[in-house]
Chain A
Amino acid sequence: MKKEIKEELNIFSEKNDEELVAMTLKNPDVYSFLVERYEEKLLRYIMRISRSTKEDGEDILQDVFLSAYKNLNDFDQDLKFSSWVYRITHNKVISHFRKITARPKTTTYEGDSNLLNILASDEDIARDLERKYTVGEVKDILDRLDERYREVLVLKFLEEKDYKEISDILEKPMGTVATLISRAKKQFKEKVQEGSSKGQ
């Protein structure tokens, strides 16, 4: 019996996202495999872009998965499932953030200890990180960026999405995404330089 369950689990875990969506429409239990695949990534993404508490983040996450389930028939086959579910997350965070906009910012995601290295992997940014910054300082710089710039930097460097995926998530033309990333980098550099001059 246990062997059968294990084999079944293996079958589902070998399926790609799009196949799991099709299977979920026939059997709702299959949805748990999609949830498991994305819960950590999406919670991290929510925390990175929303400045909300972990509890709030989990509430948003639940809302995202319920919304995605209700709209499974609207899943656009031209997209990757990950882009589609990230888009839903982006929209949920925006609507949630509008509600709590008066709240002070609280925690950030604990898993971002490698934040500095990831951001510094970009040549443009690396040049500006001449002195060593602590993770806290980098988070602070990210916090001071405009929302739209912070989000594209998070998607590009922390979530490692390509331009096409970012375009699908934010529902913006690829050209606009490229412009946003370029401006985000510029603003990031400005904030780094501001920080350096204050430090001296």
Chain B
Amino acid sequence: MALLSSPFAKKTNSVTQMMLWVVGATLPGLFVLMYFFGVGVLVNLVIACTTALVAEALILKLRNRPVMPILWDGSAFVTAWLLALALPPLLPWWMTVLGTAFAIVFAKHVYGGLGNNIFNPAMVGYVLLLISFPLEMTTWLPPQSLAENPVGAIEAVSIIFTGAASNETTIDMLKQGVDGYTMATPLDHIKTELAQGYRIPEAETAPIIKGLSGAGWQWVNLAFLAGGLVLMAKKVIGWQIPIAVLLGMGLIALPLFFANSDYYLFPMFHGFAGATMLGAFFIATDPVTASTTAKGRWIFGIGIGAITVLIRTFGGYPDAIAFAVLLMNMAVPMIDYYTKPRTYGHADKKRKASEGVK
């Protein structure tokens, strides 16, 4: 019998538990999404999760790894879950399948499976879809309260699987708001208006812009924020990265806003628009691809926040959490290398270097 090494005591925690907490904490956000955008969100979730589990099982088999223990760690499930939450509610089913399968197979297992991937799999899947199908990926419905033709459950399922609604409504009709105009997401709307030469105060008169950051979306973000705070309290995620993401957004958005509020959005708008809260609390905190040192977590988070606002403001895409996360993922090995904490009893490396100069 091989003798085991201490410690013999073990905290009762597990990866599965962590993953379950993450999924649980997204529930408020999920419900709000469903309230505003219909049952399509749920359909996406089911498609993505099934795809992920099947893809994970197949590839584990292919790689000669034990299937059951790894499948049940829940990481593939969480990847699919988060990806689905970020997808537009009426995305054709095969795009969801494609994105999820790509995330699991290429972003995760090609790198060696859980723990070895450099890029956040959910965001890789998302970006693949975004640059391959830009139209479908930016087709969001108006919040149901503002919609001319609210989407029923049957229509949603029908559109996702067949591309057309069961009755004679078309997607274009579904996208129409009460004012008769086709509706985009608040961030998209602002971007389009600015491009057409309007100023922000003018753009903000549209019904889609309401409250903090637009009808529906502010509640979605608030719900994800609430779930994220629970994760923080439960110590499933560290508190540094989400705070750093929001801080990074403020660092760029605030000076811009003060410089010219006609063309630059109020920072609070950034904070509660699009995928900000989902990104800050659920995506950026993916432990595998985030920085692991104390200082590194701050740099990583601030980078994501800053890049997001920069792309939203100056780039071609209305939202940019996915790009920002992937860009910072790339920088993680370097960040980790240069932010090694000072070991107990060791002199501060910087101080030592400067003493050496003397």
User: Are A and B genuine complex partners?
Assistant: no
Interface residues of B (CB under 8 A from A): none
Residues of A within 8 A of B (CB): none
